[in-house]
């Protein structure tokens, strides 16, 4: 049987693994690991919605390392939203997530409670494809019982990847009353390969936009040209990304 490079090549494993190890329970991210959740730590911090890989201890470790102050990460359910694919490729090859306002859909998310320094570090990993915004008038029910009507989130300004005129949801994030069809990361990358470089081996396609920033930018422009417009809940942009 032929070797599957997405199972043996660490670079491709990272690309295909998005959104990584999403936890089902609240936790405290400390020393690069998930520890029991400590609600006392959230006081004075910003509630920042993680809906893609920012729900994952693995991705938080890539962003913050193992030497950092604790980050409380609280599970929740966000009403009238879904998680879909953004119209861009990450520098590590994945097709990342975007938050979309969708009446009636309820999606599981994480709330990363960040202090000023942690928020600044998070901005550095998101600013080239997302605006940091304060969502208002939302209903975000936290696992421990509280309900937030305001929270912060990174909102894609690239557009949302579409199939048959509708956004494509992330299969790894299982929403209630979902109206969009969903794909896993490999299938989403395959669909993008078929559109942008038909006939190319998928491994070569993904390696291409990881290794070559100019090629990645050109492919992002193609994705944006074919994307559907973003659809966001009421919000105020607090930190402008680089459009």
191 half-sphere exposure, CB direction, 13 A CA radius: 18
What mean pLDDT is reported for the chain? 96
Q: What is the pTM of this model?
A: 0.95
- What token pair was written down for 65? 């390392």
Cα dist. 53→103, 146, 224 in Å?
Answer: 23, 23, 21
What does the alpha-carbon distance between residue 188 and residue 54 come to, in Å, rounded to a whole number? 19
What does the alpha-carbon distance between residue 136 and residue 150 come to, in Å, rounded to a whole number? 5
What does the alpha-carbon distance between residue 21 and residue 108 come to, in Å, rounded to a whole number? 14
Contacts of 43 (CB under 8 A, 6+ apart): none
Q: Mean pLDDT over residues 107-121, rounded? A: 97
Burial state string for 15-27 with b = 16 or more CB within 10 A and e = fewer than 16: bbbbbbebeeebb
Q: Enumerate domains of the chain plus CATH numbers.
A: 5-234 (3.10.490.10)
Backbone phi, psi, residue 201, to 5°: -60, 140
How does pLDDT run across 138-189, given as a tens digit for each residue? 999 999 999 999 999 999 999 999 999 999 999 999 999 999 999 999 999 9
pLDDT for 3 equals: 79
pLDDT for 24 equals: 92
Residue 12 has pLDDT above 70, yes or no: yes
How does pLDDT run across 195-233, given as a tens digit for each residue? 999 999 999 999 999 999 999 999 999 999 999 999 999
CB 157 within 8 A of CB 243: yes
Contacts of 71 (CB under 8 A, 6+ apart): 28, 29, 30, 60, 64, 112, 113, 114, 118
What does the alpha-carbon distance between residue 77 and residue 81 come to, in Å, rounded to a whole number? 9
């Amino acid at each position: 049987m032929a070797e599957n490079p997405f199972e043996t090549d660490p670079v491709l494993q990272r690309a295909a693994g998005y959104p990584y190890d999403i936890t089902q329970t609240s936790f405290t991210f400390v020393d690069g690991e998930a520890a029991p959740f400590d609600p006392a730590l959230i006081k004075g911090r910003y509630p920042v919605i993680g809906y893609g890989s920012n729900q994952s201890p693995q991705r938080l470790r890539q962003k913050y390392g193992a030497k950092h102050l604790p980050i409380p990460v609280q599970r929740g359910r966000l009403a009238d939203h879904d998680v879909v694919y953004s119209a861009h490729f990450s520098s590590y090859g994945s097709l990342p997530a975007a938050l979309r306002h969708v009446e009636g859909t309820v999606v599981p998310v994480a709330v990363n409670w960040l202090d000023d320094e942690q928020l600044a570090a998070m901005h550095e990993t998101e600013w080239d494809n997302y605006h940091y915004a304060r969502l208002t008038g939302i209903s975000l029910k936290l696992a421990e019982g509280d309900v937030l009507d305001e929270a912060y989130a990174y909102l894609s300004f690239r557009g949302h990847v579409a199939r048959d005129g509708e956004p494509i949801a992330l299969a790894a994030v299982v929403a209630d009353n979902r109206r969009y069809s969903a794909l896993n990361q490999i299938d989403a990358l395959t669909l993008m390969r078929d559109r942008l470089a038909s006939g190319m081996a998928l491994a070569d396609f993904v390696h291409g936009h990881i290794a070559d920033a100019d090629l990645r930018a050109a492919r992002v422009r193609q994705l944006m040209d074919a994307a559907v417009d973003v659809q966001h809940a009421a919000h105020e942009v607090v930190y402008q990304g680089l459009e």
